[in-house]
Chains A and B, each alone.
Chain A
Amino acid sequence: EAGVAQSPRYKIIEKRQSVAFWCNPISGHATLYWYQQILGQGPKLLIQFQNNGVVDDSQLPKDRFSAERLKGVDSTLKIQPAKLEDSAVYLCASSHGGQGRTEAFFGQGTRLTVV
């Protein structure tokens, strides 16, 4: 079974530039998460999708971050414009999301450096 795919693996941009990350979840997984992990900290949930609908985006800085999951499969996370404090690893995860709780599977992440 293929895992969660993310791209790119690394990205370096200047502040005020824009950047987009892509995630392809495990086939059939209804729930998709985007997390931000700053060095030395645990992952912070940015947004959670159930199919193509947003379940929770309470921690997403909506003035600069946006995310979409068209057709309930792939997802993109965008930052526009980027700030120095956005430097972090952005992790995508997916879970089955059906009845009963199941674990989330994580991608390798995208390491963003804003200079």
Chain B
Amino acid sequence: AQRVTQPEKLLSVFKGAPVELKCNYSYSGSPELFWYVQYSRQRLQLLLRHISRESIKGFTADLNKGETSFHLKKPFAQEEDSAMYYCALSGRSNQAGTALIFGKGTTLSVSS
């Protein structure tokens, strides 16, 4: 079955500390992985896409096919990083459509 697992519901860190939000997936095929973020009172927005291999707001994520993981990392957390983070997999496909399969999300809380 296609599935995305985010084992941590809440992650609390101090400002300046490293952050790693875990994401594991189950998918038979070549997946496309994403991280979406939702700041307080804002809509869900794309943070990272694995095929882009870029760093956004200091965050990076590497797709590890051997471990079926796509963990999100940032070396020094900032208070403005506090938000809900969702890992998502592009799985089911129908012609051009690629519906997303989301994990349950991890709340990141960064305090000073």
Chain A partners chain B = no
Instruction: Report which A residues bind B (CB closer than 8 A).
Output: none
